[in-house]
Amino acid sequence: MTEPVAATTATGGAAPPGPAVPGGSRARRLGRLFTADLRPLRESPAFRRFWLGEVLSATGTQVVLTTVLLQVYADTGSNFAVGAIGAVTFVSLLVFGLAGGTVADAADRRVLALLTASGLMLTSVALTLQAQLGAAAWLLFILIGLQASLSALDSPIRRTFAARLLPADQLPAVGALEGFSMTAALTGGPLLAGLLVSTVGFRAAYAVDVVSYLGLLYATWRLPSMRPEGGGTRAGLASVLDGFRVLRASPVLLMTFLVDLDAMIFGMPRVLFASMAVTQFHGGPRTTGVLYAAMAVGGTVVAATGGWLSRVRREGLVVALAIAVWGAAVALFGLAGSLPLAIGLLVIAGAADTVSAVLRITIQQVAAPDAVRGRMAGLFMVTVAAGPSLGDVGHGVFAGFTSPGLAAFVGGGVSLLGLAALVAAVPSFARYDGLAAAEALRRPPDVDEGQGGQGGQGGYEGQETYEG
């Protein structure tokens, strides 16, 4: 970190140093180390606008998802119908996640993001109208499927922006900020939906999402041109296969996906919470909710105190250690005999998972060439959606033959064995030097702070910079 420049006297000479205060200096350094790294928000107006727009739209999306579930149950009284909404969303994310990655690498990402955000806003307008008109329940399934499909196309596009707006050494801070914004959306969105539905009805809840997209559209409009380096690759199956060839040629990049699949398929115990709340902790729905919230608490703590993540050099090694902590915490959770111990272990697991996620995103942003960042972001979306869902199936089946606690213990243990096998197979992952890789990629960001309020020192050579 750059030290402050010494003050000068009126004659231009250096001012005599004041009395040393080592304790205060150490305290300030520790404070910076264990507080959120806000440099991206302070130094780049373009990223700040974009991040705030994403916070609002993500919260609005959670309002919609919760409201749809509430409306489907109110209209049908069927738990099966409510579950089918989740199935429609999951399939849409899987089908269009990889497609979204190829689209993101094919054309100007700013234009694509404007189109997808406009489509999402219009979908919310349609949801508002169906609530107003009392349309049939099947229309909700169509609209929520459309929204999930557009989200799957939209997300990989937007995940490429930070690496173009900010210097590489600030990307770990972006991961922590994204974790914080998603936690806020996942917490605040459902609460706001419940309040709106219970007081002013479904229509108003959907209308909130329409309004939430205005900020995101404005922030995206103010961005510079975001053409992929090299001009883009035609979207399609060949583009997907080319992305997998890039992964095969980059073991470190491939490992960021494999270690997460290992942790989520074998180690994610969320499907067991409801049963363990009753059989192991002698509680009920409230206890189940506490178990779900515990992981989010751990993630929030890391997001709020994650300044140190920007200074991690051996990022692959820290990811491996974080996943090891995750697996051990989940295994011990399966053996926990008291609720406070179980909550503490899940908080630790959630914190470790967030450390892993922030650094894996950083590695992907730095190690992946800009021309394929969209496809890497699309694959990231697919693995994030598929891993926990496959884990739900495996844990549920195993618990059906044994017990929920044993399923969690065995799952955590197997994830540790899988991690050890992966790290042994790809030793370069633990040796990966994230700071050296970021320094090698250091260059002026796309955005010009002096023009139109945008950040940075101008666009890349040969690339047009939008002046808002």
Kindly tell me the burial class for residue 130, based on how many C-beta atoms sit within 10 Å of its own C-beta (0-12, 13-18, 19 or more): buried
pLDDT-derived band at 79 (thresholds 50, 70, 90) equals: low
pLDDT over 90 at 227, yes or no? no
pLDDT digits (tens, 9 = 90+) for 394-426: 888 888 888 889 999 999 999 999 999 999 999
Residues sharing a CB contact under 8 Å with residue 416, sequence separation 6 or more, in sequence order = 324, 327, 328, 331
How far apart (Å, rounded) are the C-alpha atoms in residues 264 and 271? 12
Phi, psi of 5 (to 5 degrees): -70, 140
Radius of gyration of the chain (CA): 23
Nearest to 367 by CA among 419, 437, 422: 437
Q: Are 391 and 100 in contact (CB under 8 A)?
A: no
CA proximity to 464, closest of 139, 122, 111, 190: 111
CA 147 to chain centre: 18
Sign of torsion, CA 113 117 119 120? positive
- Please compute the mean of the pLDDT values over residues 351-358 and round it to a whole number: 90
Domains of the chain: 43-168+182-233 (1.20.1250.20), 236-440 (1.20.1250.20)
Tens-digit pLDDT profile for residues 213-226 = 998 999 999 988 88
26-37 per-residue burial string, b: 16 or more CB within 10 A, e: under 16? eeeeeeebeebb
Average pLDDT over residues 307-315: 81
Angle (CA) 378 383 386, round 5°: 120
* CA 219/CA 50 separation, integer angstroms: 5
Which of 140, 123, 151 is closest to 67 using CA atoms? 140
For residues 231-255, average pLDDT? 81
Alpha-carbon distances, residue 318 vs 157, 213, 328 (angstroms)? 27, 36, 15
Token duo for residue 227: 């053409």
Cα–Cα dist 33/118, whole Å:
39
Taking the C-alpha atoms of residue 227 and residue 98, their distance in angstroms, rounded to an integer, is: 19
The three-point CA angle 164-167-171 to 5° equals 85
Mean pLDDT of 381-385: 80
DSSP 14: B
What 3-state class would DSSP assign to 8?
strand
State the angle between helix axes of 45-76 and 137-158 in degrees (0 to 180), rounded to the nearest 10: 160
Residues 6+ apart with CB under 8 A from 393: none
Rounded alpha-carbon distances, angstroms, from residue 37 to 45, 169, 200, 258, 308: 16, 11, 39, 28, 8
Looking up tokens 């729905």, which residue turns up?
285
pLDDT category at 321 given cuts 50, 70, 90 is very high
pLDDT, tens digit (0-9, with 9 covering 90-100), for 258-277: 999 999 999 988 878 888 88
Cα separations in angstroms, 341 against 106, 334, 445: 49, 11, 46
Split at pLDDT 50, 70, 90, the class of 24 is low
Instruction: Tell me the pLDDT tens digit for each residue of 83-136.
Output: 677 778 888 888 888 777 888 888 888 999 999 999 999 999 999 999 888 878
Closest by Cα among 317, 325, 320, 321 to 346: 325
Q: For residue range 129-162, what is the model confidence (pLDDT) as tens digits?
A: 998 888 788 888 899 889 888 988 888 888 888 8
- Checking if the pLDDT of 203 tops 50, the result is yes
